Each structure stands twice: as structure tokens, then as C-alpha cells.
Amino acid sequence: VAVDAALLAGVLMRTGERPHASDVVNYVPFTLLPSAVPRALFEQACTVQQDFNLLVDAVSQNKEFLEQTLASTIKVDDFTAQLFRIYMQVLEEGLAQTVFLGINRSDYMFDCGLDGTAALRQIEINTIAASFGGLTSRTADVHRLVLKVLGKTEEASHLLPNNPAKGLALGIAKAWELYGSQRAVVMFLVEEVQRNIFDQRCVENELWNRNIRVLRKRFRDVFEQGSLDASRRLYVDGQEVAVVYYREGYVPQVYDQQNWAARLLLERSRAVKCPDIATQLAGTKKVQQELSRPGTLEKLLPGHPEAVARIRATFAGLYSLDEGEEGDRIAATAIADPDRFVLKPQREGGGNNLYGEELREVLEKIKDSPERTSYILMDKIKPQPALNYLLRAHSPLQVSECISELGIFGVYVRQGQELVLNQAAGHLLRTKAIEHADGGVAAGVAVLDTPYLV
């Protein structure tokens, strides 16, 4: 019943065997039952989202902070360095873009303290290509039906409405409108292999519903068909582009020389980039770690002491591995007690972090080399596991001990210096078996879930 409901609701993904075609599809893995989430922590995460929107937007406009924060990282991390070069190049030329659109997702786990109480701890904030806002708009209906079939009609009525797809489309539509050209289109910058296309279609179709035209193009299409006019308006395939919504571009492997050239062309243009390259840099793990230093939030958000306090309350321990005494000390602590920490490089998309023995080995090897500074260390969050069934095509049904990660979508639009939209746009709950340390839904580890507030 659950699988039929998921297929019927459109919780879909293309298959590994036919990743380029939609004629054979399957459901996206999901939990049989919703998972319990403490109501107070859920509400805390929703409330702090507008603050995080403000913060990301502030970081993206603060050249001095980005320069200082990433100085050590870009010496050793080529990918971040190349993003940073483009960032400096477009600043030197002068920005043609005047409208800014941020779509992010702040992810949290519920850390279980010694006394058994849970605390909200941010894992990271995704400022580029944050996914599953579309499909998660459809999973609550599936879980509602499952609960009813189980005779839990009352419980079914408690599941929250949730429609990030609409919220994200609202932001894109607002940016499109402020760009100010009826003819112009929204361009989704998509991957070569688009298995998660239905998630994107949810947002895309919301735009078509508003009579906004959407193009889907890859970097190489932009390289071949893209150009700027004298006032740096972007044209792709003969059409003026008002908004570029990146669902690609956050891992080094996608960039060859041509794709870097395409990225630079987009960044130089007047089109609203979601995100612009500064906002992508604001989402790096190194920035996240520097934000946790005492006094930094206060400097970035002067006049917002309450927002600063709400943001700080969600931070886990984060540690710099920059060269020097501070880095030496924390590296030694982590080598002695690796299970307390997670070692993170400047990468997105899951599967890059190091834990336990592997963390110890890698840190041992790089502790005296500059390579160390391409990583940060973070306290490991330890949530209370709960039992659930993870439904996956071709997999046997078995009960697993699971932990969940809550994401809150944020959307904001700024015109010049004026913030014209700042909202939380819904949530995403992902759940995985505890034996997996890392990895999201796209990586095949976590599955879609629905929070049941308790």
C-alpha cells in the first residue's frame, strides 16, 4: 500500500539502469512510518531559518570576511580556489547583477545529551542545489495514508502540511519579476545525468503554473549556446535568461575547462544566479567553522543580537585545522579520541567525511602538512536511534535502527540593499540506518521521511 501510494503521489526517481529516460521509473526510498521529532526542536529550526537567511546573505556580501576566512583553504584546495578566482574576477569587473535570490537548506540532527534530553545541532547549511524540496512536498500524503491503513486516523491528522516546492518557486518567481523582462526565462542548470529530475520538475511546474517559462540546460549547453550582450544580459539558445537556478556545479568533477568558462559567463551576467558564486562560497564548511568563533556572528550581523543568539544556539563544536598551535592541539585530541569528531573536507553531496579509525589514519598522515587546512573538524552528533522500516526497491523489508536529519528550506530575495523576501519554506526529514555514518538520499543511504511531532 505504501509503495503504491508513493508511486501515485509522484515520489519518483529515474532508475540506475535508465538514468536518462522517464519511461521506466521507480519510487524514491522512504520510511514506512513517520519518525518522531521533538516539537520544540522542530519549531526552533523553523524560527531560526530567517536568521540563517540573513546570515548567508550578509556573508555573501562581505568580501573581507570571505577573503580572510578562505585564505588558508584556497592555498591547498583547488576547487575552492577556482570558485574564489571567479568570485574575485566578477567583483573586479563590477557586478551586473542587482537582484539576488538565495535558496538554502539548513540541516540538523537531534543530539542526545547525557541526561537524555535532545538538542538541535546544525550539521551544515547548503547554499547551492539543495534538493528534495519537490518530492518531500508529496511524502506527507503517503505517510498519512499509511497511518490510516494502520487504524491511526487521529495520528494521521497530525502530520503537518509541507510544500517547499511552492516556497522555492515563489522565490524564483519574485526574482524573475524584479529582473523585469516579460520575455525572459528561468534556466535550471542541470546535471548530465538527471536521475532526480522529478524533484526539480515539482519546482519547475510551479513556475509554468505562473506562466513563467523554464529552460533546462547543462553547463556544456551554456558553453555552446550562451552569450552576453553589451549590458551583460544573458542569452542562451536565443532566449534571455532572468534567473539561473543551479542544480549542478557543487562538485569538482563536473568542471572541465569548458564548464568553468560557462560558469564564469553566467557569473559575469546580469541574470539572477541562485546562488551567485559568493553565496556558494558562504556555504563552505570552512565558513561554517569560522562562523562559530566567538564574536564573528556579532560582526556579521550588527544590530541583530537576538538573531545571533538563536543562530549560535544551534551550533555544534567546530574546529579549525589551520597551521598553528590551535590546529595542532585539536588534531592531537582528535587522533587520541576519533569517535568524538567528524573530519570534513570542502565538499558537498555526501560521502566525503571521515569518521573513527579512518579519521585517525588520515589526520595522522596530514597533521604536519599544509593539506590539513583543507579540512575542518566537528563534534560528532549522537542522536537517539528509533526503529523503522526503510522501503527500497529490490530490497528485503526489515526493521532497522535509524537516525534522522531535519532540513529546513529558506528563501530570500534582495534587490540592491533591500531584502524584499525572507522566509522559511518548509521542511525535509531524511532517515538512515545507524550503521551508515554519512550520506544522503541521492547517495543511496538516507530515505525520505515525514516528521511526527511529539
Q: Is 249 annotated as a binding residue?
A: yes
Encoded amino acid at 49, one letter? Q
405 is in an annotated binding site: yes
CB of 178 to ligand ADP, least distance (A): 30
Phi first, then psi: give them for residue 119, nearest 5 degrees: -125, 145
Is 345 annotated in a binding site? The answer is yes
Q: For this structure, is 320 an active site residue?
A: no
Residue 268 is a catalytic residue: no
Has 19 been labeled as part of a binding site? no
**Bridge partners (DSSP) listed for residue 125:** 106
Q: Is 285 among the residues known to form the active site?
A: yes
* Sole window of 87-95, 161-169, 297-305, 341-349 interacting with ligand ADP (rule: CB under 6 A): 341-349
CB nearer to ligand ADP: pick between 350 and 356: 350
Q: Does 371 bind ligand ADP (CB under 6 A)?
A: no
Is residue 392 classed exposed, middle or buried when 0-12, 13-18 and 19+ CB atoms within 10 A define those classes? middle
How many H-runs (helices) and E-runs (strands) does the chain carry? 17, 20
Q: Is 131 a catalytic residue?
A: yes
Residue from 378, 406, 411, 429 in contact with ligand ADP (CB under 6 A):
378
Residues 98-117 binding ligand ADP (CB under 6 A) are 107
* Contact assessment for residue 130 and residue 430, using Cβ atoms and an 8 Å cutoff: no
- Near ligand ADP by CB under 6 A, which window of 21-29, 217-225, 272-280, 342-350? 342-350
Q: Determine if 317 is a binding residue for ligand ADP (CB under 6 A).
A: no
Element (H, E) at 257: helix 257-268
- Does the annotation count 348 as an active-site position? yes
Q: If DSSP codes are grouped into helix, strand and coil, which group holds residue 131? A: coil
**Residues in 392-451 at the binding interface with ligand ADP, rule: CB under 6 A:** 405, 438, 440
CB 157 within 8 A of CB 213: no
User: For ligand ADP, which residue of 381, 428, 447, 448 counts as binding (CB under 6 A)?
Assistant: 381
SS3 21: coil
Region 124-153 residues binding ligand ADP, contact defined as CB under 6 A: 124
Number of shown-chain residues binding ligand ADP (CB under 6 A): 17
Indicate whether 123 belongs to the interface with ligand ADP (CB under 6 A).
Answer: yes
Residue 125, C-alpha cell as written in the block: 547549511
Question: By the 8 A CB rule, do 137 and 198 touch?
Answer: no
Is 353 labelled a binding residue? yes
CB of residue 139 to ligand ADP, shortest distance in Å: 18
Q: Which of 14, 102, 105, 320 is catalytic?
A: 105
> Is residue 148 marked as binding?
no
Stretch that binds ligand ADP, among 4-12, 158-166, 305-313, 375-383 (CB under 6 A): 375-383
Looking at 242, 262, 308, 342, which residue binds ligand ADP (CB under 6 A)? 342
CA 373, CA 366: separation in Å to the nearest integer?
9
Q: Helix crossing, 257-268 with 78-93: angle to 10°?
A: 30
344 is catalytic: yes
CB of 331 to ligand ADP, least distance (A): 17
CB contact set of 298 (below 8 Å; sequence gap of 6+): 305, 308
Q: Does 352 appear as a known binding residue?
A: yes
Nearer to ligand ADP, 136 or 422 (CB): 136
Counted residue by residue, the chain has a size of 454
In sequence order, the β-bridge partners of residue 379 are 341
Residue 22 is a catalytic residue: no
Residue 213 labeled ligand binder: no
For ligand ADP, the binding residue among 233, 380, 414, 427 (CB under 6 A) is: 380
Q: Which long-range contacts (CB under 8 A, 24 or more apart) does 141-146 make?
A: 141/5, 141/9, 142/2, 142/5, 142/6, 142/9, 142/11, 142/30, 142/450, 143/31, 143/33, 143/34, 143/450, 145/1, 145/2, 145/5, 146/1, 146/2, 146/5, 146/32, 146/33
| Inter-CA distances, 387 with 109, 403, 411, 429, Å | 16, 9, 33, 15
Which residues lie closer than 8 Å to 299 by C-beta, 6 or more apart? 65
Binding mask 346-365 for ligand ADP (x = CB under 6 A): --xxx-xx------------
Give the residue nearest to ligand ADP (CB).
Answer: 381
User: 106 among the known binding-site residues?
Assistant: no
DSSP letter at 361 equals: H
User: Any idea which residues carry the catalytic annotation?
Assistant: 105, 124, 126, 131, 285, 344, 348-349, 430
Residues that constitute the known binding site for ATP: 124, 285, 344-353, 355, 378-381, 405, 432, 438
Residues within the interface to ligand ADP (CB under 6 A) = 107, 123-124, 316, 342, 344, 348-350, 352-353, 378, 380-381, 405, 438, 440
Residues belonging to the binding site are 105, 124, 126, 128-131, 194-196, 200, 247-250, 285, 344-353, 355, 378-381, 405, 430, 432, 438, 441-442
